[in-house]
Amino acid sequence: MERFSREEFQMRPENVARLKRIERISKVLRGICKGLLVLPVAGFVAVVWAMVLPRPGWTIGFWDAMFPVADLTVGGKMFVGALSAVTFAILFKGIYHLQLLLGDYSRGEIFTRDAAGQLRQWGICGALLGCMGILWAFVPRLVLAHSPDTIHAEGGAQIVHGLIIVAISWFMEMAAEMREENELTV
């Protein structure tokens, strides 16, 4: 999509100031998100390290599912490792799409199809992380010989929030399409 300058739209001075503020804050937040991309990778490396070179007392935990590494069988370690990889990949993807969205905002591209697409991907990742929260509640029962008596699953609210973000992204995409149509007729 072609980007128009602020002068072509003849924005009011207060809106130009607001847009500059959005661009400036988005640049800072995007930089923070780029730094945060290291965390899922470091988390996965830590889980693999804990399973390959376990020490007495080390535990692995996601949400409320905590279990000692020493109690895991080889198959249990493989399962936990695979599930950890999926969980950290979803987290990485969510942060990645958020930093792309903030990149759009930092260029003044607020209501565009690309921004709506990045917002949608971020919402999907949020909903998937909520699903992973529920799934992790059952992992101790699957991989431990002496599993806990109760299951405490978290993630339902996160699924709902993610789906709400996806719905908002659809509205945002429709607004972008309507704006593009209006720009073509003017």
Contact 135, 62 (CB under 8 A): no
Number of domains in the chain: 1
Mean pLDDT of the chain: 87
In this structure, what token pair is assigned to residue 44? 């996965």
pLDDT in the model for residue 148 = 67
Rounded Cα distance between 118 and 169, Å, is 8
1: in domain: no
Question: Which pLDDT score is estimated for 144?
Answer: 78
Residue 79 lies in a domain: yes
Q: Is residue 68 part of a domain?
A: yes
Above 50 in pLDDT, residue 160?
Answer: yes
CA contacts within 13 A on the Cβ side of 99: 15
> Average pLDDT of 152-181?
89
pLDDT of residue 9: 53
Instruction: Report how far residue 52's alpha carbon sits from residue 46's, in angstroms, rounded to the nearest whole number.
Output: 10
Residue 5 pLDDT > 50, yes or no? no
Q: Residue for token digits 């509640």?
A: 137
CA angle 3, 28, 12 (to 5 degrees): 45
In whole angstroms, what is the distance from residue 125 CA to residue 120 CA?
A: 9
Q: How confident is the model at residue 176 (pLDDT cuts 50, 70, 90)?
A: confident
Burial class of residue 148 in the structure, from the number of CB atoms within 10 Å of its CB (0-12 exposed, 13-18 middle, 19+ buried): middle
Which comes out higher in pLDDT, residue 184 or 71? 71
- Mean pLDDT of the 150-171 span: 89
What confidence score (pLDDT) does residue 156 get?
A: 87
Digit-coded pLDDT (tens) for 109-139: 888 899 999 999 999 999 999 999 999 888 8
Is the confidence at residue 53, as pLDDT, over 70? Answer: yes
Which uninterrupted H or E stretch holds 97? helix 74-106
The amino acid at 165? I
Question: Is 103 a member of any domain?
Answer: yes
Identify the domain containing residue 135 by its residue range: 6-185
Residue with tokens 């905002």: 105
- pLDDT of 51 higher than 70: yes
Question: How far, in Å, are 90, 106, 109, 148, 155 from residue 135 at the CA level?
Answer: 14, 36, 37, 15, 9
